[in-house]
Structure 1
Amino acid sequence: MTSSCTRCKPLRVNLSSEELSALDHDLRFEFGPSAVTPERAEEVRNLLALADKDFEDHVSEMARLEKQRAKLLSLISPMRKLPNEVLLCLFQHVCEENLLQCYPWPFRQKPPTEITSPVITYLPSMAISSVCSRWRELALSSPSLWANLVVETHTLESETSVGFADTVIRYLERSDGLPLRLKLAICGSANATEISSLIHLAQHAWRWKTLKYRGHYSLTGYGMPSEVRFPLLAELDITDSKELGHFEDCLRLRALSTWAVRPIPRVFYGTLEHLDFYGQSLNNVVEALRSCSRLKSLQSRHLQASKDELEQGVLGTWPNIVSLTADRASCRIMFSSLNFPSLNNLVVEGDQISWPSDAFLSFVSRSSCMITAFTLRDIFLEVLPALLHLEVDLVDPYPPPENPITPYFIANLIHDQSTSSIVPELDSLHLKYNSTDTFEDATFIHMVQSRWHKPGSDLSAGIMAMGRSCIRSVVLKFLSREVDAYVYRPLRILDAEGLRVVVAGTNGVQSIYSRVQQGSVKKEAVKKEKVKKRSMMSSNCIDMKGKDVVTAYIPSLNIERLVITAENASFNRLHPGGVLTGTKWIFYPNRSAYAD
C-alpha cells in the first residue's frame, strides 16, 4: 500500500499489489463471523478513506484533462478560421439594440418592454464580451456595438435602482464618442427627482444621431437642461409636437415622426426627406409638401380633412415622393387630393374603413406611377398578374374565422390549365402559419405540384407559352404545430428537379430541399416580357353562399413583391375572383366596394 497521489503515481490503494494480497485472499475465501474482526474493520476503513482520496484525485484530474482537451480543440475550431472582420460584422448584426431597463419597476403599469428572458439576452454587447477573451477584445475595441441604446427609466430611479446610472455610463464610455442611436422612455411625474441616467445621456446629446422618445412629460420637464443642443441628430421620433421647438437647431434632421397637430417648423423644410405624422390636417400636409423640397417618403395616420378641403380637388403634384405609407382613412384623402407620379413603394395599413376603390383608381390613373412594391393587409390578388413574390407573415395566432391562410386560399393558388389562375407569374411563396385550426397538407402539396414543372420538359414549354411562370421557392413555417415529414414526402421528387422547398414546425425543420443544382438546371431561353401597360380585367366575385353577385372591372397592377403582415387584420376568405380581404368584399356596378 502507498499514499502517493495520482499525479505522482502510484495509487494509494491497489488490491492487486503484494502489500494487499492477504486482503485480496480474504476477500475471496474467508466468510463467517470470524472473518470481520475489529482490527480488520479498522484497517478496511483506512483503506476506504485512501480510496476516496484516489477517487477525488481522479475527478480533479479528469476535470483538468477536459479543460486541456477543450483548449486543444479550440485551436482547430472552425470559428478560429473566421477573420475578425467577418466576426465583427456578425456582432454588429446582433447588437442592433441594447436594452437598459431600470429595475425594479415601481409603477402598477408594465414597463415599455416586458422582460421575458434572462436580462443578458437583451444586452447583446455585454453577452458577447463575456464569451471568451477574443470576443471580449473584439467587443471592447468596437464602439459601434455599444452605441445602440434603448433606455427605459422612471423618476424613482435614484431611490430604487442602485447602479443603473453606472450601467448607462459604462455603455456611453465604451461607445467612445460615436454617434448614438437612442430610444428613450421615461415614466413618472415631472419635476419629481433628478433622473441620473437622463443627466448623463444629456451630457452626450451632442452625439445623438437618432432619437425616439416616449414619456408622460417633455424631456425638459424631466430635468433635461433647455440649453442642450443636438448637432448630429438626423432622425427624430417624438409624440408631443410642442417639443419640436427644442430641436430647431438640428440642421441635419432628415426624418421626422410626430403626432403633431400643428404646422411643422419651417427650419426643417430644407432638410427633411422622410415625414411621419399622426392627426395632421390636409392643409398642413400640403404646406409641408410644398415647402420640403427634399421630401421623398411620407407616412400618414388619421389624416384629417374638412368637407371644404376635399371639395378643392387635386391640390398639386409632387414628383419627389417615391414612398407612401398610410392607413385607409388617410389613403382616401390622399388619393383624392394629391398626385405622386414617381411613387414606387405603397404601404396601406388596414382598419375597419372600407377600401376607397374609386379614389385609388383615380389616383393611379392621374399619377401614372409605376408601383413596384405594394405592402398591405387587404389584398386583391386578381389584379396583381405580375406578382413574383408573395409572403404572408402571421406571427400572432388567429382564431379560425380570422386566419387568412384558409384551405380556400390555398386551393385558389392551384394552377388549372383549363382556367386562368391568379398570380400566374408567382416565383416564390413564403407562408408563416400560427393557427391551431387544421391545415390541409394535401391541398398545399397539390398546389406546389401544380405550379412546378421540370425545366426543359414539354409541359414546361407549354406552360410558358400560355404566359405562366414556374414557382422556384416555397417556404412553409408552422409556429404552433409539428410537421410530419412523411406527409410532405412527395415534395422530395421536386427537389431532385430543382425546386427549393422548406417545411418547418415546432419539431424543427423536417424538410429542407434546396440542393444547389450545378449545371443540371439550364437557364430558360425565353425571357418574360414585362407588361407595363395597364389592362382591364374581369373577375367574378362570389359571396359566402356561392351565388354570383356581379362582374367587376378593376385594373391590373405591375407589382412584383407583396408582403402581407396581417397584424390586427381579420381577413377570412379569398374569393374566386381573387379578393383576399379584411372581411368579405363585394363589388357592385358604379359603387365603391364595401366590407360586411
Structure 2
Amino acid sequence: MTTSLSSPVVSVSSEHETSTGHDNTSSRTGVIYHLPLELLREIFILCLTHDRSPNRNVAPLLICHVCSRWRDLAFSVPELWNELRLSYNPFKGPVDAFMRTYIDATELWFRCIGRYCPFSYILDLPPKVISHNAERSFTSPLPPSLRFLALKMNEVSQLTTHIHLHADGLASLERMRISISSDLSSFSSVMRSFPFGSAIRLRRLALDIEGRCVIPRLAPSPWTQLTHLVLGHDLSLVTWHEIIRYCTQLQECFVEISTPSLGLSVSNPIGIKDETTLLHLTDLTLLFSDAPDIVAAVEGLHFPAITSLHLECAYGSRFYLSLEPVQRIFRNAQLKSLTLRQGPQYAEDLLGILEITTTLDHLEVSCGMEQAHFLSRLRCLPLADGPTLVPQLTSLVLVVLDYNFDRWSFSSQAFIDTVQSRWWVVSDGDGDAQLPTVSCLKYVSLAIDDRHTDTQDEVRGMLVPLIAQGLHADVHAITHDDWLGQCYLYMDPQLYCDWDYNK
C-alpha cells in the first residue's frame, strides 16, 4: 500500500510547488493529507530518490514545502536526512550564492539527522569554491552522536582547515570513509589533521586518498581499535607496514600497494625487524598497482586466522607463490577462499599452494593457456591412488587468456574430465560413500579468450549433460580489455566500503 501511495504523495508535493493556491491542491487530495503519521513516515521514505542533494524538486525538501504538518513530520524522520550530496557541477550562479545555499542545507540536514543515525556526507567540490570561501565550513558542526560518515572531496583544505573544530561530534563515530581526489593532497596531511583521537568508537575506516603518500609519523590511533580497514591508491610499502603493525584487532583488510621494484624480492626488502601476528584477521585483499611483490607485502606478518585471501594485479607479472613467506600463509591458516587475478601464472607455483591447502572450498584463478594444465591435477582420484588436491572444493572460477606465447591448445577434454570427477548426483542411499573425504563440486565458471569461440562452443557443449543433471555451470568469452577492466574495478575501494550498518 505504501508503495502505491508514494507516487501520489510526490504528485501532491509537486502540485503544491506549482499551484497558486493551497486549497486547490488539497481539495483534490485530502485523503493523502490526512493519512496517519506512521503511514506518512513510510511513504515519505519511499519518496526518496538517488538524488540526495538539497533540491527543492525532490524529497525531502519537496515534501517540506507542502504544508506545516508535513514539514514538521519530515523534520522528525531521520531516515529522510541520512545522506547529503553537495556538488558544484549542477549549480548555476555565483559562488557566494552556492556557498550560502549549501551551508544552509548542511545545517538543516545535521539538525534533522538526530542521534545514533547513520549519515553519509558526500562533499564533491572544486578547489576554487573552497579557496574562495576558506572561512566557511561545510563540516560545521558535525551532527551529535554521528555513527557513519562518508566524506568525498576534490581538495583537502576543507578537511584540514575545519575538521579539528568538530571533535565533539566524533565520539560515537563507528564507520568512516574519506575520499580525496586531488593530486595535491597527501595521506600525511589527512592523518595529521583529522582528530582520530576523539573517534574512540571508530571500528571501520576507509581512506582513498590520491596524491602524495608521504610517510607519516603514525600515532597508534585510530589503527589499534580498527576491525575493518580499506586503504586505496598506491600506498607505499613502508607506510603499509607501519599501519598494519598497529592493527592488532583487524578482521578484514583491503589495501592497494605500490611496489616500485620489479621482479623477485630480496629477503626483508625494507628493513623490517619485528614480527607481527594478526590473530583476528580473516579476510585479506592485496592489490598491487605495480609488480605483485607479495613477499615484500607480507614480510614479518602472520595470519593464523585467515580464511579468505584475494591477490590482484592488473599487470602481466606473475605472483611468486613458491617463496617461503607466501607458503607460510597457506601452511598456517585454514583458507576457505582463494582468488588469484594476475597475468601468466606458473602452474607449478599454484600447484605447490594447492598441495598444502586442504580446506579450500572456493578457487578463482586467472591464467594463460600454457598454465591451464594444472586443472588435470585437480581431478578427483580414487582413494587407492592417493589424496585429491583441495578435497573440499565446491566452487571453481577460471579465466584463461591467450598471451600468444605458443599456439592455442586449451584441452577441453581435460577440463571436462576434472569437472566430471568432482561432481556427481547424490541419490538416496549412496551419498558420498565412495568419496567420503571429497566434496561435490557445485558451481563452475569458465571464461575463455574471446578469440577462441570454437573452444568456448566445445566446452559449452560438453557441459550440457552435466548441467541437465543439476550442475551450475557457465562458459563465456572474455577480452584482455575486459579482464583488465575487471581488475581495475576490483581495485575500486568503494566496493569494499559498503559496510552493513547492522554488523
Normalised by the length of structure 1, the TM-score is 0.46
8 Å contact from structure 2 (residues 250, 278) kept in 1: no
8 Å contact from structure 1 (residues 273, 294) kept in 2: yes
Task: Supply the distance in 2 between the matched residues of 1:470 and 1:290 (Cα, whole angstroms).
Answer: 40
Cα displacement string for residues 385-431 of structure 1 (whole angstroms, at most 9, x for unaligned residues): 64423468xxxxxxxxx997999689869958799987564324568
Task: Supply the distance in 2 between the matched residues of 1:425 and 1:412 (Cα, whole angstroms).
Answer: 17
* Deviation (angstroms), 1:364: 1.0
Identity across matched positions, percent: 17
Cα displacement string for residues 125-165 of structure 1 (whole angstroms, at most 9, x for unaligned residues): 99999xxxxxxxx9998633641445443697653897777
* Deviation (angstroms), 1:502: 7.3
Alignment of 1:249-398 (within 5 A): 249-256=198-205, 257=207, 259=213, 261-277=215-231, 285-300=240-255, 301-302=257-258, 310=269, 312=271, 315-320=274-279, 322=281, 323-328=283-288, 329=292, 331-352=294-315, 353-361=317-325, 364=328, 368-378=332-342, 382=351, 383=354, 386-390=359-363
8 Å contact from structure 1 (residues 304, 330) kept in 2: no
**Equivalent residue for 1:464?**
435
8 Å contact from structure 2 (residues 293, 319) kept in 1: no
Task: Supply the distance in 2 between the matched residues of 1:417 and 1:128 (Cα, whole angstroms).
Answer: 67
8 Å contact from structure 2 (residues 358, 390) kept in 1: yes
State the secondary structure of the residue aligned to 2:120. Answer: strand
* Deviation (angstroms), 1:333: 1.0
8 Å contact from structure 1 (residues 98, 149) kept in 2: no
Identify the structure with the greater helix proportion: 2
**Equivalent residue for 1:247?**
194
State the secondary structure of the residue aligned to 2:294. Answer: helix
**Equivalent residue for 2:165?**
227
Structure number with greater CO (CA < 8 Å, separation at least 6) is 1
Cα displacement string for residues 342-392 of structure 1 (whole angstroms, at most 9, x for unaligned residues): 333322221434423344555517982333333331476642664423468
Task: Supply the distance in 2 between the matched residues of 1:250 and 1:276 (Cα, whole angstroms).
Answer: 17
* Deviation (angstroms), 1:299: 4.1
Task: Supply the distance in 2 between the matched residues of 1:489 and 1:125 (Cα, whole angstroms).
Answer: 55
Task: Supply the distance in 2 between the matched residues of 1:374 and 1:142 (Cα, whole angstroms).
Answer: 44
Structure-2 change in CA distance of 1:431 and 1:366 (3 Å): closer
* Residues matched between the structures, number: 376
Task: Supply the distance in 1 between the matched residues of 2:59 and 2:334 (Cα, whole angstroms).
Answer: 41
8 Å contact from structure 1 (residues 209, 233) kept in 2: yes
State the secondary structure of the residue aligned to 1:210. Answer: strand
Task: Supply the distance in 1 between the matched residues of 2:374 and 2:268 (Cα, whole angstroms).
Answer: 44
State the secondary structure of the residue aligned to 1:228. Answer: helix
**Equivalent residue for 1:78?**
none
User: Which amino acid in structure 2 is aligned with residue 326 of structure 1?
Assistant: L
**Equivalent residue for 2:487?**
567
Cα displacement string for residues 292-342 of structure 1 (whole angstroms, at most 9, x for unaligned residues): 553444444126899896375652132435143323545221333333333
* Deviation (angstroms), 1:242: 0.7
State the secondary structure of the residue aligned to 2:125. Answer: strand
8 Å contact from structure 2 (residues 54, 105) kept in 1: no
Question: CA-atom RMSD, angstroms?
Answer: 6.1
**Of residues 192, 203, 219 in structure 1, which corresponds to 2:141?**
203
User: Which ranges of structure 2 fall in alignment gaps of 5 or more residues?
Assistant: 1-38, 65-72, 181-185, 401-409, 477-483, 490-503
* Deviation (angstroms), 1:243: 2.8
User: Which amino acid in structure 2 is aligned with residue 316 of structure 1?
Assistant: E
Q: Name the larger-Rg structure.
A: 1
Alignment of 1:19-418 (within 5 A): 98-100=50-52, 143-144=78-79, 146-153=81-88, 159=94, 175-177=113-115, 178-189=117-128, 191-194=130-133, 199=137, 202-206=140-144, 207=146, 209-220=148-159, 224=162, 227-229=165-167, 230-231=169-170, 232-234=172-174, 235-239=176-180, 240=186, 241-248=188-195, 249-256=198-205, 257=207, 259=213, 261-277=215-231, 285-300=240-255, 301-302=257-258, 310=269, 312=271, 315-320=274-279, 322=281, 323-328=283-288, 329=292, 331-352=294-315, 353-361=317-325, 364=328, 368-378=332-342, 382=351, 383=354, 386-390=359-363
State the secondary structure of the residue aligned to 2:128. Answer: coil
